[in-house]
Structure 1
Amino acid sequence: MNNIQTASRVIEVCREYRLPLVLSFVDYEKAFDSVETNAILSALVDQGVDASYVRTLADCYRQCSTTVQLFQRPITIPIAKGVRQGDTISPKLFTAALQWAMKSLNWDERGIKLRYSSVSQVQ
């Protein structure tokens, strides 16, 4: 509820002072399915994860596939993106990729200036 109040207040201030405003809301439903493997690996490297761990995870994620049987014939389908739901490391990998993406948006030059701070993102 606090995020809604903050967004409402920002909208009011922008209207009052005739400031341009762009709001973005992120829907995290099925979020784990939407992260590309390369983004995860880049995020881990950027955040200083040891190269041996990154290589191990790359091997795990690059060789993923699923098999479905259609008319008694198995069909193997490679899985190109997403983290494995249910793996204990999946939430951490998703968070690492999300933090990496948010960091790349250069928030320092964005936001609404308030008295002593700037509001650029509400989590």
Structure 2
Amino acid sequence: MDVEISKSVLTDIAATTLEGIEGIEVAAAPLKVGEVLRQQGGPRRSRALKVTREGGQVSVDVGLNVEYGRNLVGLAHQAQRAVCENVELMTGLKVKAVNVTVLSVVLPRGASA
């Protein structure tokens, strides 16, 4: 019996895993040429998170915002490890790569500028 795992499920697993790591957030996807910023209350902007599946292997590309004062390299490694472990544990698929790009450094939530 074959079980098919959709790309959106893989993306949700990665996104939920990353939400659990303190000090980072998945960045908003960069705007494409001609795309208009949506008004508040409109559809949410997509995130900088892409999952590619080739047979039984998965690759994840993610862009992160990291809180100011945090260890960038340490959080990037933690994100890679956590996404790899959770995707493999929950799906049985092999994770080929988790590519992390730190896109920006942001003030911690609740901090004033």
- Higher CA-based Rg: 1
User: TM-score surpassing 0.5?
Assistant: no
What TM-score do the two structures reach when normalised by structure 1? 0.28
- Higher percent of residues as helix: 1
- Higher percent of residues as strand: 2
